[in-house]
Amino acid sequence: MICNYTFTPLVYCILIYNNLYSIGHEEIDRDGNGERDMPTIVHFQIPSDDIERSKKFYNDLFGWKFDKFPSPAGSEAMPEGMEYWMISTVDDKGDEGVNGGMMKRQSPEQQGITNYFDVKSVQEYSAKVEKLGGKVISPKMPVPGMGYFAVCTDTENNGFGIFEVDSTAK
């Protein structure tokens, strides 16, 4: 799989979710500096050729809920076909699970569900990805007011994202 991500105004919606960082992090062990010991999945993204068909599939299969993500305040409305849908999940006890998003597939190469992992530093982990034989497909980009992300592939060409929380990102 070759990841080919088109960066449009939609990129700013990819990881935006009010509870993005807090989900599942309250009880994580911290090192001596208060940092997380192990990156975890904090968001997933599903590309779709037919949004309504995909929403029905995942709702009928897992009971997931979908909400259209609004355009950021002060910006233009999302262009037709660039809408982003937030996905809400719950675990078997009814507690909030890892949430995700769905968007129209931007290119034929954009295949499979992409998981995003929280990291201390996108820059540091991007270098680590390459040192370990992976590739950074889309380098560090800001999600204003939320943080930074990059899209990578591992040594087996599996795509994944890394996300760094930073409320000062512009």
At residue 114, the pLDDT reads 96
At residue 6, the pLDDT reads 41
User: Domain 9-23+39-165's class?
Assistant: alpha beta
At residue 27, the pLDDT reads 46
Q: Is the pLDDT of residue 161 over 70?
A: yes
Confidence label for 2 from pLDDT (cuts 50, 70 and 90):
very low
At residue 29, the pLDDT reads 53
Contacts of 106-111 with C-beta under 8 Å, sequence gap 24+, read 106/4, 106/5, 106/6, 106/8, 106/47, 107/4, 107/6, 109/1, 109/2, 109/3, 109/4, 110/3, 110/4, 110/5, 110/47, 111/1, 111/47
- Segment 98-118 shows an average pLDDT of 93
Please state the domain extents for the chain. 9-23+39-165
Give the chain's mean pLDDT. 82
pLDDT tens digits, residue range 150-159?
999 999 999 9
- The reported pTM is 0.76
Q: Is the pLDDT of residue 39 over 60?
A: yes
